[in-house]
Amino acid sequence: MDFFSLTNMKEIIISTQFTVFEDAQDMPTDVQDLMKQAVEVRKNAYAPYSKFRVGVAILLDNGEVIVGSNQENAAYPSGLCAERVAIFYAGAKYPDAKVLKMAITAASDTNQTTAPIPPCGSCRQSIAEYEIKQEMPIEIYFMGEIGLVYKSDSLKNLLPFMFDKKFL
C-alpha cells in the first residue's frame, strides 16, 4: 500500500462552544470585577512597538487576583504576553493554587478593538499547562476594548489538540 494513499482516510469533527455576552455588563458580577481589573492593568502595558495593549486578571481558588499586562522588548521575541505574565506569576507566587477564571481584554492605540481578542497560540499552550496540572478547567473570558465578551468553559475549547507531558 502506498504510504500516501487516501483510501483509509477518515474525518473527525471537533466542536467547541462559547457563551457570548453582548456587553461586559451582562456577565456575572464577579467576572465583571475581574474584567475591570484586566481593563485597569491593560493601561500598564509596555507596548511601544505593537501599540496593542493587553490586560489580564486571574482569579485563584484562594481568592487572590493576579493581574498582568503585555511587556514588549526591542529584541523581539523577548517580550511577554499579558496572559503569560499573569499565569507565570500566579504559578510562582501561589504554586498550589488553582486558576478558576481568567479575564482578558485588548485595546489598540491606533484603532478601536470591538471584536473579542483570544489568547495567542503561545499563551494557549502556557494556559493549557496549568489546566492540565490542576486537573480542572479554567474559565476564560475575552473581549476587545468594547463590545462582545466570549466565555470559554475551558482552555481545551480554544486548543482542542493540546500538547502535554503525555507526549514526552
What lies within 8 Å, CB to CB, of 9 at 6+ separation is: none
% the chain with pLDDT above 90:
84
- pLDDT band for position 2 (50/70/90)? low
Domain boundaries, the chain: 18-78+95-152
**Mean pLDDT over each residue of the chain, to the nearest integer:** 94
CA gap 8, 13 in Å, rounded: 17
For residues 10 and 123, the model is more confident at: 123
For residues 1 and 51, the model is more confident at: 51
Q: Residue-wise over 83-104: b if at least 16 C-beta within 10 A, else e? A: bbbbbeebbeebeebbbbbbbb
CA gap 151, 63 in Å, rounded: 20
- pLDDT band for position 162 (50/70/90)? confident
Task: Report the pLDDT value the prediction gives residue 166, as an integer from 0 to 100.
Answer: 84
Q: Which of 11, 22, 64, 83 is catalytic?
A: 83
Cβ contact 34:141 at 8 Å: yes
Summarised one tens digit per residue, pLDDT across range 55-82 is 999 999 999 999 999 999 999 888 999 9
Indicate if the pLDDT at residue 1 is higher than 80.
no
The mean per-residue pLDDT over the stretch 93-114 comes to 97
- CATH number, domain 18-78+95-152: 3.40.140.10
Residue 64 designated active-site: no
Q: DSSP labels for 66-87?
A: EEEE-B--SSTT-SB-HHHHHH
3-state SS assignment for residue 163: coil
Q: How far is CA 92 from CA 7, 17, 22, 126, in A?
A: 50, 31, 35, 14
Summarised one tens digit per residue, pLDDT across range 19-56 is 999 988 999 999 999 999 999 999 999 999 999 999 99
